[in-house]
A and B are shown apart, each in its own frame.
Chain A
Amino acid sequence: MSSDPVQPAPAAVRPLPRSATAIAGLLLLVPLVALAIVPVYATDGPRLWGFPFFYWYQFLWVFLASGFTYGAHRVILHARRGQQ
């Protein structure tokens, strides 16, 4: 997370390195963009098991969003461990 430049943080807790924040932020941005582009996925075809594209695309993103968010979690955990 970003830090406030005015005052230094208490000793043992430092803000995360910028690279980790940036990677985690990008991972979290992907599902937001994927679901914001409504005109792109609001179509009937191609159907999958009878599901119109509009429906199965959004069901697919339930899993993908979960994966991307978990990825961001791992990135932050890793950066935290590296600090200690």
Chain B
Amino acid sequence: MTPLAAGPNTGVHGVELGVVIFFFLVVTFGGFVAVRWRRGESMKSLDEWGLGGRGFGSVITWFLLGGDLYTAYTFVAVPAAMFATGAVSGFFAVPYTIVVYPLIFIFMPRLWSVSHRNGYVTPADFVRGRYGSRTLALAVAITGIVATMPYIALQLVGIQAVLDTMGLGGSGNWFLRDLPLIIAFAVLAAYTYSSGLRAPALIAFVKDTLIYVVIVVAIVWVAINIGFGDMFDAAQAQMKSTPNGSFIPSSQTFWAYGTLAFGSALALFMYPHSVTGVLSAKNRNVIRRNAAVLPTYSLMLGMLALLGFAAIYEKTSVVGLDGKPNGQLVVPHFFDQIFPSWFAGVAFAAIAIGALVPAAIMSIAAANLFTRNVYRELFVPDASPAHEAAVSKIVSLVVKFGALVFVLGMDRQNAINFQLLGGVWILQTILSIVAGLYTRWLHRWALLIGWAAAMAYGTWAAYQQSSPTTSHFGSSLAKFPGTDTKIYIAVTALLVNVIVSVVLTALFRIGRVPAGADETAPGDYYSDAASPSVSSAAAEVQTGAESAAT
């Protein structure tokens, strides 16, 4: 395999490591110079630091959203799931990332417009303005922060898988073992601090290019050396002998497959980092055009998923440096197995950089939520834009440090459990956000109670699920109450959410409970920046908000 390695898993793989370090230096340079790229008036506001000046066009948005949504953890986890249990837990990612785009085409331009007109930076800002409820906005903000934190931690798990494959991380000394990860994250934190959203936007170009090259080469390799028919046959045979394995969903798992795809699709754009990516777009057309071209990433994700099956054919070992099997290692090991070491290095660099881009955007999004909807709301109501940016920059450091401690200090399984819960939780904010884009009928207190009920149910249901490796949080599927059909827990919880919210809204309306003030105007929801009268009106709103704040 590599000249320096005595066996597949011993010693440091020098060539691979050298290539990874080279690409890491390139993106580090890019991350720091990004502060000068498309520079606005000053970095001292969240519009500039946290949303890149709200001026990204179609191409940058395409790379940014692609880099943001298709994370290193996805690259590692989806083929790992295909390798272990097949289609239901792995391939659902393909329909999931297809149906998400027609959905965002429908409601994201509305969120963009209302945010643009009213100077909203986070989804919770919108909820605050629409329902006049600080408590509901706080619930949405905290759900966003709590769901994002383990997602950042999982990006580190992706980097760890690559480091482990290159022979780093086996030594007994914890400090030396974790040093590469700590350095990578410290550098990431530094350029995110100085360049804000411009850093991941610039680095995303490198990340996506590398990923595309690697996946295409890998799939061509599979086509030539294995053949797709043989690959699928090997996977089919393997899945037959695997408990809970599925080559193609059966009548017991149709609902599981469908609800995982649609539930995850609805949840994806409730994550604060997705909203940040969307709000940084220049106008509504950028969002719509991107909804049409972003599925190209799903094509890549689908091919990547198939590498899990190719690894079954190749009988790839998933035993890590610590001697224990770890499914997450399947894709890095597969690359190590089939590619010459320099190209395996390119593949590993793609995964590692693929972790840095989303980690940066997620920490910016979580920091914006904290600053706007917790700090400003509860502690310093008259914070100036410069003050907000300063707080956000520091919080972005804290968030990343927290994720690092999470991964180094706790079992990896914890990060995966919390990420599973995060998906269930974040979907429960959809009612306040998306229904709010269309109607004010739902009552703010009903939404809050519905949210709380759904969060409690979802957490409890996920806690009950056991798997061969873990006694709780073992699956994101649970039996739909009163039936034997397993479906995605987040969808059942959303149903609880909708029922509670609708029933209570009806009661509150009969009881004439005050519904709160709505600061948005109907025209806010379909305004286009392209129309000159709108941009001047938006500028007016913006200045109005700023002068009110200072």
Contact = CB atoms under 8 A, between A and B. Distances in A.
Interface of A: 1-4, 6-13, 15-16, 25, 28-29, 31-32, 35-36, 38-39, 42-44, 47, 49-52, 54-55, 58-59, 61-63, 65-70, 72-73, 76-77, 80
B257 A1 contact: no
B299 A62 contact: yes
A36 B522 contact: no
B106 interface: yes
A12 B527 CA distance: 9
B526 A13 contact: yes
B248 A54 contact: yes
B232 A51 contact: yes
B110 interface: yes
A51 B285 contact: no
Nearest to B106: A28
**Which of A6, A16, A54 has the most chain B CB atoms closer than 10 A to its own CB?**
A54
B525 interface: yes
> Is chain B's binding surface mostly helix, strand, loop or mixed?
helix
Contacts of B438: 2
A55 B285 contact: no
Nearest to A71: B292
A10 B521 contact: yes
A65 B248 contact: no
A1 B287 CA distance: 15
A14 B545 CA distance: 24
A13 B534 contact: yes
B258 interface: yes
Contacts of B293: 66, 70
Nearest to B94: A58
B98 A61 contact: yes
A70 B292 CA distance: 5
Contact of B527 (A10, A52, A72, A77): A10
Contact of B291 (A25, A39, A47, A69): A69
Contacts of A50: 227-232
Contacts of A32: 99, 102-103
A52 to B, nearest CB: 6
B101 A36 contact: no
A2 B525 CA distance: 9
Given A1-B110, A4-B522, A35-B261, A42 B250 contact: yes
B463 interface: no
